A = this chain, B = another copy of it.
Amino acid sequence: MESRVRAGEKLVEVPEAQDAALQFIGRIRTPWSERKDCPRQGRVDGPECRVEVFAPWREALLGVGEYAHLDLLYWLDRARRDLVVQNPGNDGQRYFGTFALRSPQRPNPIGLSRVRLERVEGDALIVRGLDCLDGTPLIDIKPVTCEFTPKAPPKG
């Protein structure tokens, strides 16, 4: 857990997280090896990143290549989890609740980016629009369907 806390930011005592457990399903390769180099939010005109999927989940990529955009969920394993009020600009002026920010510091440090799928390369996806460190653990891949007719028919 990163220890940095800025003046006026507010921490809470939180219970040990044990309500549900995650398994990492892959790993994300990006150009950024230090936090200071990561963009604040990903941009779809940003650099290509490589999303590597572990066995036994590779077969779950069947059909992903038909989508133009994906929602990726990943685990921000260096974030602290006890901040409730933050000062993202470190200016001592503007404070926001954690749920009014997309900061990595949050009770469940899950990152979410809506990315553009450039292509599928074997067991990996090449995407643009990420903002995370090289080596970040992958949690989920979801297709973005709102731009297209859903493949599955609606329930009767």
Question: How far is A66 from B100 in the complex, measured between Cα atoms in Å?
Answer: 8
> How far, in angstroms, from A143 to B112 measured CA to CA in the complex?
11
Interface residues of A, dominant DSSP: loop
Q: Is A7 an interface residue (CB 8 A)?
A: no
> Considering the chains assembled together, what is the distance between the CA atoms of A100 and B101 in angstroms?
28
Given contacts A24-B19, A40-B155, contact A63 B108 (CB under 8 A): no
**Min CB distance, A25 to chain B, in Å?**
5
Interface residues of A (CB under 8 A from B): 10, 12-25, 36, 39-41, 53, 56-57, 59-64, 66-67, 71, 73, 75, 77, 81, 84-85, 88-89, 94-102, 106-108, 110, 112, 137, 139-143, 145, 150-155
